A and B are shown apart, each in its own frame.
Chain A
Amino acid sequence: MSDSPDLDRYPELRRAVDRRNFIKSAAAGTALMAFGGALFRIAADDLTKQARAEKRGDGRQRLPPGQRVIEFLRPMGGQEGDGDVKTFKLKVHGLVKKPFEVDYAGLLKLPQVTKEADVHCVTGWTMLAGQWKGVQISKLAELAEMTGEARYVILEAAHGYTANVPLKEATMDNALITYRVNGKPFALQHGAPVRGLVPDLYFWKSSKWITGVKFVKDDAPGYWEVRGYHNHADPWKEERYG
């Protein structure tokens, strides 16, 4: 004997009620999962709260708006280079008097620096206080005898990827051609063997699998810049999209 004789007598009504119950359960389950996920994210974010309370030497907040802190670089994809130190070559060219090319061993023989820098991905994550080792782009400019006409630096990478950076930001102390972070070599997905680093702009400007540094007079928007991302990419102004 059923508890709901009416439904037994009207199978179409039973089907409708069953469907309604299913939709209600599915909606409740989805809401519960979303709530749980949001709660987990908020609770686990002490690093972000701490970074928001800090300031940089230049007076800006350490954490740019809309960013949250993660502990390790996150692989974001891209068309990878071969990652091979044996075939690596870095070409320094453009508006310079002495263009040159170095291999990996040659790069390691150039004057080296280790800089602490935070990096900010346009998708919203930030990794704090990485120890980045490499050669300053300003040093490459000096070695190649960059001419006074240069206004921009194009960081060239595997498969024709480029990122354009104003000369001022590309030649800051912490802008590097880097091959090590926190004492470790880069994994292939992070740009091995050598990548760019322009930490005060969104991280897509720090070309992975770098192949060249070109000094130019006129701006030449790069791979992401012509696909709707901001030409400058200042994280503190949230210059994410063009």
Chain B
Amino acid sequence: MDELWPRIKKRWRAWLRAVHRDFGYLAIGFTVIYAVSGIAQNHIEDWGEVSYKSYEQTKSIAAVADDAPDDVAIKAVADAAGLGTPTSSYRAGDEVRLEYANGAKATAIGSELTIQGRERRAFIGAANWLHTARNRHGWKYVADIYALLLLYLAISGIFMIKGKLGLKWRGALLISIGVSVPIAAVMLSGPDARAKRPEPATAAELQPP
């Protein structure tokens, strides 16, 4: 024991760095997935759901007569759509709907044909799927382990370097800046700040003076 303590005292920072390095390697794949899908989620109001690339095309066609038999109506719409043989069809009211093996859908309403479909974006689609771990119990625990790795990386990073590049000067300054940003955000516009903001009591108060 007497020999161990001086050894730990001398070597702890090297061990901490070695573990930090290896955890960092382990975390790379997860970090890329969570960062990319996190950016996509942050900007969902601008970009929408980016897991798919959707398309929609509208064509004018000869309107299907109300009294046309179903098979005639379906053939006319399928010919106009030009997507090959549909795998499924449905007719109701003024609509004729066709579905295709690749997921595309053609809907004729009167003299307008709308073709809709989408293609999955392989990487961001998978990243978004992984990021929303809710209801996926196995993956949820894998994601928890990654979160613990991140905690280790963050905390061990504080003690990796000694001297003025470490906690004494640069480290302390940058940690203060980093911590103050979320604290300021919560203080200025967090849930409690929002609760203190007076809400308009009536619709009339929303109008400019």
Interface, chain A (partner B; CB < 8 A): 55, 58-61, 65, 74-77, 85-86, 104-105, 108-109, 121, 123-125, 180, 183-185, 187-189, 192, 236-238, 241
- A125 neighbours in B (Cβ, 8 Å): 45
B95 and A108 contacting across the interface, CB-CB below 8 Å: yes
Known interface pairs A59-B203, A183-B109, A237-B199; A77-B49 also in contact (CB < 8 Å):
yes
Residue of A nearest to B89 (CB): A86
Q: How far is the CA of A58 from the CA of B206 in the complex (A)?
A: 12
Q: How many A-B residue pairs have CB under 8 A?
A: 77
**Contact among B45, B191, B203 with A58 in the assembled complex (CB-CB below 8 Å):** B203
| Contact-residue bracket for chain B | 20 to 34
Nearest A residue to B208, CB-CB:
A61
Kindly list chain B residues whose C-beta atoms are within 8 Å of the C-beta of A58.
203
B92, A123: Cβ atoms closer than 8 Å: no
Contact of A180 among B52, B90, B109, B118 (CB under 8 A): B109
B48 at the interface (CB under 8 A from A): yes
Within 8 A of A (CB), among B176-195: 191, 194
B141 smallest CB distance to A (angstroms) = 21
A189 touches B207 (CB 8 A): no
B54 within 8 A of A: yes
Contacts of B191 in A (CB 8 A): 241
Query: Distance (Å) between the CB of B66 and the closest chain A CB?
Result: 13
CB contact under 8 A between A108 and B52, given known A121-B45, A125-B45, A189-B118: no
A185 adjacent to B116 (CB under 8 Å): yes
- Determine if B20 is an interface residue (Cβ-Cβ < 8 Å): no
Q: Does B114 contact A (CB under 8 A)?
A: yes
B207 contact set on A, CB distance < 8 A: 55, 59-61
How far apart sit A229 and B100, CA to CA, in the bound complex (Å)? 38
**Cross-chain contact B54 with A123 (CB below 8 angstroms):** no
0/1 string, B119-133, CB within 8 A of A gives 1: 000000000100000
For residue A84, give the distance in angstroms from its CB to the closest CB of chain B: 8
Contacts of B68 in A (CB 8 A): none
Option from B109, B118, B206 in Cβ contact (under 8 Å) with A60: B206
Query: Which residues in window 50-71 of B have CB below 8 A to A?
Result: 51-52, 54, 56, 58
Interface string of B11-45 (1 = CB under 8 A from A): 00000000000000000000000000000000011
- Given A185-B116, A241-B194: A109 and B93 interface contact (C-beta under 8 Å): yes
